Structure 1
Amino acid sequence: MNDTISIKKTGKQILVFLFFLFLIFLFLLKGKDVSQILKIAACASFPAIAAGIAMAGAFNLSEGLNLGILLKAMGHKVSFAQGMKYAYTGFFFSSITPSSTGGQPMQLYAMKKDGIDLSHGSLALLMELASFQAMAFLFELFAVAMIPVLGISLPVTIKILIIAGFIMNAAFVAFLLVVIFSERMGQRILGLLKKILPRLPFVKEETKSQWIGKMEDGLQEFHACALLMKEHKRAIAKMCVISAGQIICWFGVPYMVYLALGYQGSSFLHLFVLQILIYMSSSLLPLPGAMGISEYAFLQLFGSIYSGSSMTAAVLLSRGISFYFLLALSGIMLLLIYGAARQRKCKTIFS
């Protein structure tokens, strides 16, 4: 990978991200009393905000631990710092690229530089993704069941997005499980795609061949996942528990913001379910970090919880902690990590 090209591409992605962020702030603050919103946010309880930040930080920590567990199971000596480096890399580049497409390639690049085989790195990332998505889907099933129990009213637009997101997530998890555990079914799906892809119009033959090659390689990785799971059942179970804790902490941030703003009356469970519904509603659209749609869904679903300027302050604090803070933290940590690595390299050269 050419570092110069990588830096230029990252710079462009950051500029696009900042443009989207500017539009979101315009949407949230248009016609609002900005001074009142800032006053409410400034008066928020520091202990509750600090607890929310710690809960958000558990997201990266959990991914770092899970990647470390998987890579160690494959025989690699991965330190805690290395696991966190891969987690920060994934979150940062996933957040600034559409459909989170940039995270895993950059994680593989970081692993390769640490001497980890691409096949092992790909397998670890695939297993970590499968664990998170499977646990997230279980929580989604729980949230859907709790909608009538908690008396949650869903606006039509949000209901449509939630249904579409739920179907897409269910299909994705089902696809992962089927392809990982059924080699015959995986071959059938691949055979079907091999028949469909050559008939696609406006796509070069070379591109079609590349897609088929990648799918064949991907199918091998899926089957390797099944073997890994059978060989390391305890490690996989531990990883699933960590993923469940990761989701509880991450989706629990809005409740800490609720407490920080001095509100009472709504339970952790209620706000936790609302945040899961926000996650489901933002799954369908390929926007960097689900920007825009997450804020919109928050305004729609938390409308019965907050009012006036408190509503805007709540969405800014909640998204600020659970997403923008993590993005900034990931970027800063990557600068420190790679800056320290470059300094060590320079000392080695001139010593």
Structure 2
Amino acid sequence: MDNSCADPGTKEAEKSESRKLVKSIFIALLAGLLINVFMGLLIDFGELKTAFRATSLVAIFVPFAIVFIIYLIDTLRFKLVFPKFGIRISLRDGLYNNIIGYFFCNITPGSVGGQPFQVLHLSRLGLESTVVSNVVFSRLIEGNIVQLFIVAIFFHKGIGMMSSLGKGAFLLIAGMLITITMTVVLILTFSNPHLLGTLALRMEKSGLGKLIARITKNPCWAEKISVWSQGLGEGFKVLWSQNMGTMLLDILILMVEQLLWAASLYIPLAILTGTASPFPEFLLSYILCGLVSLFIPTPGAAGSIEASYLLVLSALTGKPAATMSAILIWRFGVYYLHLLVGALVYFLKPMKRAVYKPGKDGILSHIRKRRRAGVKPGRPEAGP
């Protein structure tokens, strides 16, 4: 029997996983520290010190708490969409998935690791990978639709801002182009998923294909993508053709979520600068700068996000020192503290395997083992 396409996982790879994660966390912290120190050198230290003294607990707590609210909202969105595939996801599993997904976003270059890990986790729980991929990656499409909608509404605001932003104007232009491009690419990809399989098979024998095989330690990666893409199209039809109402509701919820993300920075910015910037202009800047900074290859876009927001928002507020203080406090609450939260959850809560089984009604749900009398439950085995 040919085992060349067997799963490439090894005990050595499993042992090195924790070391790689710790290394990624260290790089994220170091990159953020170096870039933030450099930005601090460009601003008057006395003004920066004065701005930090004006910091309140509210400015720190609000961004941190808003991310927890978003975890819960994303979990409820799972409970809204997964039943369309005959899956009843538990609140605990959905919450764990969103916390760890955000954690992996924060430690991977360009924040690209969150969605793949969410797919991996839910697949290990016993859910079909093509279904999970549809749900998780459909969120990317929804996110880009929401961002494109906001950009379209406030486009005239952006044009008016560019003359006053100086060097920051190119970030808004780049952000607009990225928003449009990403939306078109994602929609074309998910509406024609067979193209992914075809592309993978054609790349398999190329230099890039061989490189992917070495990195993934899987010589048959192209065949797996081809098989996976065949089921992706059917799942896409289930979500976007047969359940359009549900997806539109999910998009509306995501729009509220986008406003919450923006509020997590808007509130400390208003507190530390002492002025409330016009929210439409701020929201447009928040979205576009965030998209541009993700293309800087630091883990979780650490440092690059602070730099891009400082360049644009300091021109918007006219107070560079207070703006930088607000941005650093915001990042401390939504990024660095949640880097710690995610690491604690990941290392202290083992990932379960194959716990979703069909019930009498045919719906997949989390089946919990009953405890036998007099026997203490052992700690579940961690997945690789």
* TM-score bracket, shorter-length normalisation: 0.7 to 0.9
| Match in the other structure for 2:232 | 221
| Match in the other structure for 1:127 | 138
Q: Say yes or no: does 1:40 pair with 2:54.
A: no
Structure 1 counterpart of 2:72, one-letter code: L
**Cα distance in 1 between the residues matched to 2:59 and 2:211:** 56
What percentage of residue pairs aligned between the two structures are identical?
A: 19
Structure 1 counterpart of 2:70, one-letter code: F
| Match in the other structure for 1:173 | 183
Q: State the aligned residue count.
A: 343
1:301 corresponds, among 299, 312, 317, to: 312
Q: Say yes or no: does 1:318 pair with 2:330.
A: yes
**Cα distance in 1 between the residues matched to 2:66 and 2:38:** 27
| Match in the other structure for 1:57 | 68
1:310-351 deviation digits (Å, cap 9, x = unpaired):
23312212322343333333334445544999xx9994249x
Distance 1:155 1:32, change over 3 A: closer
**Cα distance in 2 between the residues matched to 1:199 and 1:49:** 52
RMSD: 3.6
1:135-183 deviation digits (Å, cap 9, x = unpaired):
1222233343321345663434x444443443333222213323434x5
| Match in the other structure for 2:302 | 291
1:108 corresponds, among 109, 119, 122, to: 119
**Cα distance in 2 between the residues matched to 1:160 and 1:196:** 37
Is the contact between residue 75 and residue 95 of structure 2 (CA under 8 Å) also seen in structure 1?
Answer: yes
**Cα distance in 2 between the residues matched to 1:99 and 1:151:** 26
Distance 1:41 1:226, change over 3 A: farther
Structure 2 counterpart of 1:170, one-letter code: I
Is the contact between residue 179 and residue 222 of structure 1 (CA under 8 Å) also seen in structure 2?
Answer: no
2:221 corresponds, among 210, 220, 241, to: 210
Structure 1 counterpart of 2:41, one-letter code: K
Structure 1 residue 188 displacement after superposition: 6.4
| Match in the other structure for 2:107 | 96
**Cα distance in 2 between the residues matched to 1:263 and 1:206:** 51
Structure 2 counterpart of 1:72, one-letter code: P
Structure 1 counterpart of 2:341, one-letter code: L
Structure 1 residue 214 displacement after superposition: 1.8
Structure 2 counterpart of 1:311, one-letter code: T
1:264-311 deviation digits (Å, cap 9, x = unpaired):
252222322221231232243333222222212122112231435323
Is the contact between residue 180 and residue 223 of structure 1 (CA under 8 Å) also seen in structure 2?
Answer: no
| Match in the other structure for 2:377 | 348
Structure 2 counterpart of 1:284, one-letter code: F
2:289 corresponds, among 274, 278, 282, to: 278
Is the contact between residue 270 and residue 277 of structure 2 (CA under 8 Å) also seen in structure 1?
Answer: no
Query: What TM-score, normalized to structure 2?
Result: 0.75
Distance 1:103 1:293, change over 3 A: same
Distance 1:194 1:333, change over 3 A: closer
1:239 corresponds, among 238, 250, 253, to: 250
**Cα distance in 1 between the residues matched to 2:203 and 2:276:** 54
Q: Say yes or no: does 1:146 pair with 2:157.
A: yes
Q: Say yes or no: does 1:80 pair with 2:86.
A: no
Query: What TM-score, normalized to structure 1?
Result: 0.81
Q: Give ranges in structure 2 of 5+ residues lacking alignment.
A: 1-8, 214-218, 354-368, 380-384
| Match in the other structure for 2:40 | 29
**Cα distance in 2 between the residues matched to 1:223 and 1:162:** 37
1:32-55 deviation digits (Å, cap 9, x = unpaired):
676864553343244455444433
**Cα distance in 2 between the residues matched to 1:330 and 1:125:** 19
Structure 1 residue 221 displacement after superposition: 1.1
**Cα distance in 2 between the residues matched to 1:283 and 1:271:** 18
Q: Give ranges in structure 1 of 5+ residues lacking alignment.
A: none
Mean Cα deviation higher: 137-146 or 329-338: 329-338
SS in 2 for 1:284: coil
1:197 corresponds, among 203, 211, 230, to: 203
SS in 2 for 1:28: helix
